[in-house]
Amino acid sequence: MAACLLLCISVPLLAADINIKISKRYLNLPVSQAQARGTMQFKIGGKEERSFKIRLAKDEPQYWVFCDVTALKGKTINISYDGDGAGLSKIYQDDKIAGQDSMYHEKNRPQFHFTTRRGWINDPNGLIFFEGEYHLFYQHNPYEREWENMSWGHAVSKDMIHWEELPTALTPDNLGTMFSGSAVIDYDNTAGFNKGNTPAMIATYTANSDAKQVQCMAYSLDKGRTWTKYSKNPLIDSKAKWNSQDTRDPRVFWYKPGKHWVLVLNERDGHSIYNSTNLKDWTFQSHVTGFWECPDLFELPIDGDKSKTKWVIYGASNTYMIGSFDGKTFKPETGKYYYVTGTIYAAQTITNMPEADGRRIQIGWGRVSHPDMPFNGMMLLPTELTLKTTKDGVRLFSVPVKETEQLFDKVNQWSNLKEGDANDKLKEYNNSDRLRIKTTIKLSHATSAGLNLFGQHIIDYDMNFNLINGKFYSPQDMTSMELTADIYIDRTSIEVFIDGGAYSYSIERKPDSKNTEGFHFWGTNIDVKNLEVYTVKSIWK
């Protein structure tokens, strides 16, 4: 009998369920990465409200995630789990998120880059400005710090710097999980979803399933707070045509000269272009090979001259081409180039910017790990993109938007230092968790030089081979021995903008634990012609 009792106690609780009557704002769920994933399902009155995969902690949770159940107050939820259900008893409701008191102040929380409160983020989606708000939607797993349950997370900002996170915007349905896409404002009611004088915000996205990837749409009449999915989804189902599972990431914009909508879609080996007059019925027009995922296509003036413009097309890996576009076909006029490298991926530009502003602003996903945190991934700084004439022709430049300046206070500036003196000046900043440094270095006896932080190369410039941190870079003046860098250091990342944005890169901050030198300029007899240090305010309250 005792053996039987012992055996019965050791058997895990499987396929269990509980009932909770919702009276608070959040359900807090315990997570452990040591557990296998199982499927959790919420039902109300026998009807599924949501279903997702989660590593439900049966013992001590490594961290907590949450569900915002404000809309379900007063209702009784049946919660079932097909994995080890021992952790169901740990689920609790509260008007606070578990760990809320320390949120945004955790050890590895970036202090001036956007991160989500809990869970995983990757590609930015649906970047759009509307009625004074910038909207950042993004690929999101609300239930774990790793990729799964792809949904559209949502945050809004007045300045692209300080963000307020809102409830998840789009969640998986019978067509699949919510992959990347874009958003527009349908001012002319071409899709027929507007209500009175309220124009619809329309999101076009990929629904991903094991069978295929199809393009769908949803609309919002309350500034993106709630969404209604189009009843006749999908809009485009092109797997059979391309004999490919890779048909995703629709980028939609209004082409004013042709008075029609354009949709750029990654299909198999490049980007396809579709047209529509109503955002529902799309006609294939053309295809450009050589790009992968997350397309963007936009027009920019050259050197600020609006009478001289070119179109730029790029993909998730940040290579781009310059050319012309007639609303149906993009015609390349250059080869492929890159303007930014490193952790950045799947960058997207903000649509519906005010005409008086006229900027083309981009936000990219920073593929940066955040060890031991209840969140993972980040967004890099928003940057303004411009086309400038260079010695090699017209090229794309990128610099942080002017709104970032509110974060920085200059605390020191020096001129014409030798590297040893510059290192001494920086000693007091060695252990700063966030900092901005602007510097111009001049090589003399050296053909290579740079700046390290605890042994990690922030800048490693090889003039002979035209390499910066191993990537080819050709300065405008090839006889010059100078290099200018604007460096943004956060707790887990470093972004560097070279020579006014001609080239930029982002890296994960990885100090060598055995290195004690801190900031360290190196290179034989180099001159540090300019060195500026700025403290950085946190974007979190």
Between CA 429 and CA 437, with CA 435 as vertex, the angle to 5 degrees is: 90
- Cβ count within 10 A of residue 237: 16
3-state SS of 295-359? CEEEEEEECCEEEEEEEEEECCCCEEEEEEECCCCEEECCCCEECEEECEEEEEECECCCCCCCC
123 is catalytic: yes
The amino acid at residue 422 is A
Active-site residue identified among 123, 186, 486, 490: 123
Sheet holding 177-186, edge to edge: 177-186, 200-208, 213-220, 228-229
- DSSP percent split of the chain into helix, strand, coil, nearest 5: 10, 55, 40
Taking the CA atoms of 339, 343, 347 and 353 in sequence, report the sign of the dihedral they define: negative
Across the strands, what pairs with 321?
Answer: 313
Of 499, 500, 484, whose CA–CA distance to 443 is shortest? 484
Backbone angles phi, psi at 443, to 5 degrees: -80, 145
Rounded Cα–Cα distance for residues 497 and 340 (Å): 9
Sheet of 133-141: strand order equals: 163-170, 151-157, 133-141, 119-130, 375-376
By the 8 A CB rule, do 303 and 313 touch? no
Catalytic residue annotation = 123
